[in-house]
Amino acid sequence: MIALRAFTLFCLALAILCGPHTGLLPHDARDEGRAARISPDYSGITLPSNIAPLNFRISESGDRFLVSISSAHGKPIIIACRDGDIRIPEKKWRGLLVNNRGERLTIDVFSRERGKPWRRYTPLINRIAKEPIDPYMTYRSLHFLYNYSSDLRIHERHLESFREKTLLSTRNFYWGCVNCHTPESNDPRQTVLHTRSNAYGSATIIARDGALRKINAKLGYTAWRPGGSHIAFSTSRVRQCFHSTGKNPIDDYDLSSELFVYDVGKETIIDIPELCDEGLIQSWPAWSPDGTFLYFCRGPVLWTDFNEVPPDRFEELKCSLLRAQWNDAANTIGALDTVLSADSAGLSITQPRVSPDGRFILFCMHAYGPYPVTQRTSDLYLLDLETLAYRRLDVSSDESESWHGWSKNGRWIVFSSKRNSGIFTRLYFAHIDSLGFTSKPFVLPQKDPGFYQSYIRCFNVPELAIAAVPYTERKLIDAIRSPKAIQATIPRKRSVPEIKVDPSSEWGAPPVGGGE
């Protein structure tokens, strides 16, 4: 009996390897009349022709599984397994996708339980886009954080395969912090990165012209001016408060925030008085692709007591989207122009990112505050700069969406989303057409089909890149540890009081006995 089974299995495997593939599929299978449940959900999506195999797990009962992946041209890929984990051979996958740009990609799923006939599920239909996605992506991985952070990592992923490398781990510079790594126009050869560490201080690393420079200033949320001459950045004093109920207890707010521009050539910080108003929170800079406009978000400071946690009326703060023309010769900005006001939108606008063709702005809108990542209400919106019309993108979910970016060709967006759990942020891609319509998003593919089911870290700050980062972790660490740094002073830096500690509850405090 065992020998017979082994022989049958051997024949099946041999047939899969050598035979005419479609003939192998069980034609007498019973039709289930529904699509198979697979995880991650890779059905009804549009995928780039150069993406790594979309390995998935079949969440149906059975002890034999068969999957056929086919398109208009070329042989289908047939995969048989016992555990429901579908690992697609990379070479065959690449061939299938490259030969079928613009075509449909069909996934046929079959399952069988011992002693029962094969079951056939409704095919999963996807579309292969004509436009490729940038081949690389950098992103940050971290645990779901509250106040403290000690183990942050920046990774680079080759999107065409499963190759991944760690660009930076904070464990290598005394459990410091590493913030947004921003390449200039999807080109990682020019990158800016902010780090904080007890041992090495707060610094910014700028990668440019094949060299790494350390600036001893905290450049918060950054945006390269296309061409790489300037970096706009904010200096946010971010604070947290915590809710007693709800799925996600964290709320973030800025006590204050100003915007500055760093002149990369002159290695100086340019003071722009219009962007440093004490009564305003100004953050999230972004440049137009031609470098003429600086976009940013702005909201009023509604509190006077900076010691209060959280400050009064912080839940009423809503940011608007503004822009100003950049005067290159004088290093100044022109008159401020409100692109979309929070009053008219009724929500707070943050994280604007202009499309490479300059037509759209992709941004977040949420109930209040300057931080979309902790707001369940945060969704992605697209504003057409020609008509100034905006709409919520279908890629949004019930949970928070944030940290979005464009591919170099402007046909793909990447963003982080807390959908599914409200806790674990994952990275999603979606195709976006020339009119600004998006396809159903799909999660970053992983080699292990069950990867996301037990992965306890979060991903955020994805940045698509046209090439691999040319710096090794060792070089970045050396730059961070280096005592040599460019001195840059942030002008008009406001000091915000530290969080107040209730003295009556401190250890060894004077007795309060007798008082009611």
CB of 174 to other proteins, least distance (A): 5
Q: How far is the CB of 487 from other proteins (least distance, A)?
A: 24
Spatial distance between the Cα atoms of 218 and 237, rounded to a whole number of angstroms = 11
Strands 77-81 and 64-70: antiparallel
Q: Is the dihedral of CA 374, 377, 382, 385 positive or negative?
A: negative
Which residue number, 33 or 510, has a Cβ lying nearer to other proteins?
A: 510
Task: Please say which residue, 178 or 382, places its beta carbon nearer to other proteins.
Answer: 178
Q: Which DSSP helix (H) or strand (E) runs through 474?
A: helix 473-481
Provide, rounded to whole angstroms, the least separation between the CB of residue 167 and other proteins: 10
* Token pair of 305 as six digits: 């007591």
CB nearer to other proteins: give 282 or 417: 417
| Least distance between other proteins and beta carbon 454 (Å) | 4
Closest approach, Cβ 337 to other proteins, in A, equals 36
Binding site for other proteins (CB under 8 A): 143-151, 169, 171-175, 198-199, 241-247, 249-251, 308-310, 420-424, 448, 450, 452-456, 472-474, 477, 501-502, 505-516
Does residue 40 have a cis bond before it (omega within 30 degrees)? yes
- Three-class SS of residue 293? strand
Task: Write down the least CB distance from residue 410 to other proteins, Å.
Answer: 33
Residue 117 or 246: the one with the smaller Cβ distance to other proteins is: 246
Please answer whether residues 407 and 381 qualify as being in contact, where contact means their C-beta atoms are separated by less than 8 angstroms.
no
CA 467 vs. chain centroid, Å, equals: 18
Whole-number minimum distance, CB 461 to other proteins, in Å?
Answer: 18
Give 63 or 478: the residue with its C-beta nearer to other proteins. 478
Task: Report the candidate in 186, 228, 185, 182 with the shortest Cα–Cα distance to residue 204.
Answer: 182
- The answer to whether 184 touches 209, Cβ cutoff 8 Å, is no
What are residue 164's DSSP bridge partners? 157
Nearer to other proteins, 11 or 199 (CB): 199
Q: Which is nearer to other proteins, 20 or 513 (CB)?
A: 513
CB-based burial, 177-208: b 16+ in 10 Å, e otherwise? bbbbbbbbbbbbbbbbbbbbbeebeebbbbbb
Beta carbons of 274 and 335 less than 8 angstroms apart:
no
